[in-house]
Amino acid sequence: MSRLLEVENLQISFETFFGEVQAVRGVSFGVDKGELVAIVGESGSGKTVTTSAIVKLLPEPPALYKNGKIVFDGVDLLPMKEKEIRKYRGKEISMIFQDPMTSLNPTMKIGAQIIEGLVKGQGVDKKEAYDRAIEILELVSVPEPEKRMKQYPHEFSGGMRQRVMIALAMIGNPKLLIADEPTTALDVTTQDKVLELIKRLQQNSNTSVIFITHDLGVVAEIADRVLVMYNGQIVETGSVYDIFDNPLHPYTIGLMKANPNVSRDSGELYALPDVVPHPVYKEKEDGTYELCEGKEHIGDDTEIIELGKDRSLRVHLEKEETELKE
Ligand SMILES: Nc1ncnc2c1ncn2[C@@H]1O[C@H](COP(=O)(O)OP(=O)(O)OP(=O)(O)O)[C@@H](O)[C@H]1O
Ligand SMILES: [Mg+2]
């Protein structure tokens, strides 16, 4: 598989009344063509800020893009001006959000919104757009699409609206779909249907997907690979099997324990600690790492080490004493 997106050392701050808030602190990750990468992590860990930055959706100010690269299909998007980035936003890179009502126009019929998207975004004529709109609604399993085209968003159920959102996001045949908690507001059955739909579109059109969620059950169901975020940084990455079967970072281990549905030990509910101790690793002579038991360090003085292909872990690397004295 080849890389579609490479985010390198992304740093984003916000100017606030109280000073600069470092929301994203040196995030690097890649997404392959056709891959579904899930981002998990607690509220405020920087998931939305990181992914909104990909298509530069954060208004400057208060946002400050301090550093980094966002290489999409070989081109760095970060230095682009608004006019240039618009060629990508909603076209090659689409986004869907938690609440479709914020993205759908409540005063416009569903059909008209899809047709407008096709005419403006794809340059097709109105008649062809009508036929394509019907096809798109069928594709996302909206029953009786001709009748549904004439209805307003409020006449649709939450799950149905979310499917229309996905339909709108898929119109431009994007290479990358960013879905920020798209199923959080839905009941479990509807959520399953929407997840199935995203997975099907990913597989059929080879679209890459970045899927943000709090729900580890959802991750287990759909992700190929997982990025775990904590406090503006990635703390661990791995395949969905690595992360569920062999979580290494204390924060990831805590997440697994805190989620009774996916954790394998039955026991009482686990509360995440406020401060996450970073594991201390020591580099051995052969270049591999060993965990130094009993030493838990806290703080910013950590770095990501690569444990294998697409498997990485944030650790507090133990420095030799002589080095520390220098
Ligand atoms: N406009 C803003 N001004 C100041 N700080 C902001 C702004 N937007 C986001 N932040 C800060 O950036 C940090 C990361 O926020 P972000 O929205 O990315 O979190 P998240 O991981 O998406 O959380 P959630 O799971 O609740 O959606 C938070 O500390 C937040 O307070
Ligand atoms: Mg968010």
If one residue of 7, 20, 21, 40 were mutated to test the ligand 1 pocket, choosing by the most ligand atoms within 8 A of its CB, it would be 21
Q: Which pLDDT does position 251 carry in this prediction? A: 83
- Rounded Cα distance between 43 and 212, Å, is 11
- The structure tokens listed for 259 are 């989620």
136 touches 170 (CB < 8 A): yes
Per residue of the chain (326 residues), what is the pLDDT tens digit?
689 999 999 999 998 888 888 999 999 999 999 999 999 998 888 999 999 999 998 988 899 999 999 999 999 999 999 999 998 988 899 988 776 666 788 899 999 988 988 888 778 898 899 998 998 888 778 889 999 999 998 998 888 888 888 888 877 789 999 999 888 777 777 788 888 888 888 888 889 999 999 888 889 989 999 999 988 999 899 999 999 988 888 888 888 887 756 544 444 555 555 544 445 555 667 666 555 543 333 345 678 888 888 899 888 766 544 444 44
> From atom 24 of ligand 1, which residue's Cα is the shortest distance away?
43
How far is the C-alpha of 177 from the C-alpha of 307, rounded, in Å?
28
CA-nearest residue, atom 29 of ligand 1: 44
CA 233 – CA 47 distance, rounded (Å): 9
Q: Which atom of ligand 1 is nearest to the CA of 42?
A: 25
Which phi and psi (to 5°) does residue 300 adopt? -85, -10
Give the Cα separation of 219 and 5 in Å (integer): 20
CA of 306 to the centre of ligand 1 (A): 27
Please name the residues in contact with 305: beta carbons below 8 A apart, sequence gap of 6 or more.
281, 289, 312, 313, 314, 315, 317
At residue 279's C-alpha, the angle toward residues 275 and 283, to 5°, is: 155
CA 4 to chain CA mean position, Å: 14
Distance CA 132, CA 118 (A): 8
- Helices then strands, counting H and E runs in the chain, come out as 11, 14
Residue ranges near ligand 2 (ion) with Cβ within 5 Å: 47-48
Ligand 2 centroid, distance to 97 Cα (angstroms): 9
What's the chain's average pLDDT? 82
Q: What share of the chain is helix, strand, coil (3-state, %, to 5)?
A: 35, 30, 35
Residues flanking ligand 1, CB < 6 Å: 14, 16, 21, 23, 41, 43-49, 62
Closest CA to 56 of 25, 15, 119, 10: 10
What tens digit of pLDDT does each residue of 30-69 get? 999 999 999 999 888 899 999 999 999 898 889 999 999 9
Residues 6+ away with beta carbon under 8 Å from 198: 36, 166, 177, 179, 182, 209, 211, 222
Q: Which residue's CA lies nearest to atom 16 of ligand 1?
A: 46
CA of 43 to the centre of ligand 2 (A): 7
Q: Which ligand sits closest to the CA of 43?
A: 1
**Distance of alpha carbon 235 from alpha carbon 1, whole angstroms:** 24
Helices in 108-187 by DSSP H: which ranges? 110-122, 126-139, 145-149, 158-170
List the residue whose alpha carbon is closest to atom 28 of ligand 1.
44
Among 311, 83, 43, 61, smallest CA distance to 180 is for 43
What is the DSSP pairing of strand 311-317 with strand 233-239?
Answer: antiparallel
Atom number, ligand 1, closest to the C-alpha of residue 59? 1
What pLDDT does residue 296 have? 37
Please check whether residue 223 is in contact with residue 38, taking contact to mean a CB–CB distance below 8 angstroms.
yes
Beta bridge partners of 3: 32
Gap between the Cα atoms of 142 and 268, Å rounded? 41
pTM: 0.84
